[in-house]
Amino acid sequence: METRELTYFTAVAEELNFGRAARRLGIAQPPLSRAIQQLERRLGVRLFERSSRGVSLTPAGEVLAREAAKILGAVTAATARTRRAGLAEPRLVLALKPGGDGGLLPDVLAAYRTHPDAVAVELALCGVAERARLVRDGTADVAFLHSPYEDLTGFDTEPLRVEAGVAVMTSRHPLAGREHVRLADLDADPTPRWPRAHPEVTDPATLMQLAALGRVVVVAPESVREQVRRDLVCVPVLDGTPTTVLLAWPEGTRSRALAAFVRTAAEVAARVSVGAGTFRDRSHRE
């Protein structure tokens, strides 16, 4: 199969109409129909059911639709990464949501600049749902992601920091004065809890505005404290699911610059963890 054939097939599979697919591709319908028929003959299976009621995918067509999406995505990503690797001044593109680095990024960037394999780091600030996509499509080389909330399929990863959860709420909320809460306390409260409620809202500024208005309580990693507004409070959630901040990049990537960045981040995270543990131990003894 050729990528051109897969592109043609994908257009028909998504439109389920040869005329619309041809217009989308910028070609006439007869050559598109012939290309699909040739692909079916080569594979020895029917990909579409054609009837007076319209066009639908066969079971074989449904399989190819899934596989074609992966293949065309990989080709697009390979193109983007190859072009970036050929730049006169190579760079590493890092995708993250604002505040999604667990407070590690400034120290990581400072330490990475001193590494002999370092290159310029370009930040791609984006929403929660976009980070993994940017790495998969080749726009970014690596991303700060959060487990267990992300699909890590196809990624190599390096865990950096485990964070407990906090409930972000307006200072007028009945639970705002608590030293800590449990999930049952939040469930008993009538205020919706994100991300269980309003999961479609992923913009941090929008979430903080909703929390300030008392429309939602946001359960997030504890590092969010550094970004919250003055009219909000963060209350520790004792039994919340811990969040692991990690770096993720495509499986099998061979890049000295990326390897150096990941090693540097792991070293910085280990130092931060040890320092925080020492501080907690000293505070406990006092």
pLDDT at 85 over 60: yes
Q: Are residues 18 and 66 in the same domain?
A: yes
Whether 232 and 255 share a structural domain: no
Do you know the residue count of the chain? 286
Residue type, 89: E
| 110, 252: one domain | yes
Q: Which of 71-75, 117-121, 163-167 has the lowest mean pLDDT?
A: 71-75
The total number of structural domains in the chain stands at 3
The answer to whether residue 8 sits within a structural domain is yes
Given 83, 110, 139, the domain boundary residue is 83
User: Residue 268's domain spans which residues?
Assistant: 87-155+248-285
The answer on 108 and 49 residing in a single domain is no
Residue 242 belongs to a domain: no
Residue that terminates a domain, selected from 40, 63, 83: 83
Per-residue pLDDT tens over the stretch 202-215:
777 888 899 999 99
Say if 142 falls within a structural domain.
Answer: yes
Same domain, 262 and 144: yes
Tell me, yes or no, whether 228 and 265 share the same domain.
no
Q: Looking at residue 281, what is its pLDDT? A: 47
Q: Tell me, yes or no, whether 243 lies in a domain.
A: no
Same domain assignment for residues 98 and 229: no
Q: For residues 204 and 238, which has the higher predicted lDDT (pLDDT)?
A: 238
The whole-number pLDDT of residue 49 equals 92
Q: What dihedral angle (degrees, nearest 10) is formed by the CA atoms of 77, 99, 199, 152?
A: 40
Domain for residue 160, yes or no? no
- Where b means 16+ CB within 10 Å and e means fewer, 105-136 reads bebbbebbeeeeebbebeebebebebbbebbb
Same domain as 202, residue 63:
no
Q: Do residue 151 and residue 252 come from a single domain?
A: yes
3 state DSSP class of 11 = helix
3-state secondary structure of 240: coil
Asked whether the beta carbons of 162 and 243 are under 8 A apart, the reply is yes
What CATH number does the domain containing 63 carry? Answer: 1.10.10.10
**231 assigned to some structural domain:** yes
What confidence tens digit (pLDDT) does each residue in 125-134 have? 888 778 998 9
> Same structural domain for residues 16 and 79?
yes
Tokens representing 43 are: 């594979």
- Highest mean pLDDT pick, 49-58, 86-95, 277-286: 49-58
pLDDT value of residue 263? 96
pLDDT at residue 266, rounded to an integer: 96
CATH of the domain at 142: 3.40.190.10
> Do 185 and 210 fall within a single domain?
yes
pTM confidence score: 0.66
Residue 65 in any domain: the answer is yes
Rg (CA), the chain: 24
Give the DSSP H or E segment for 55: strand 54-57
Whether 11 and 72 share a structural domain:
yes
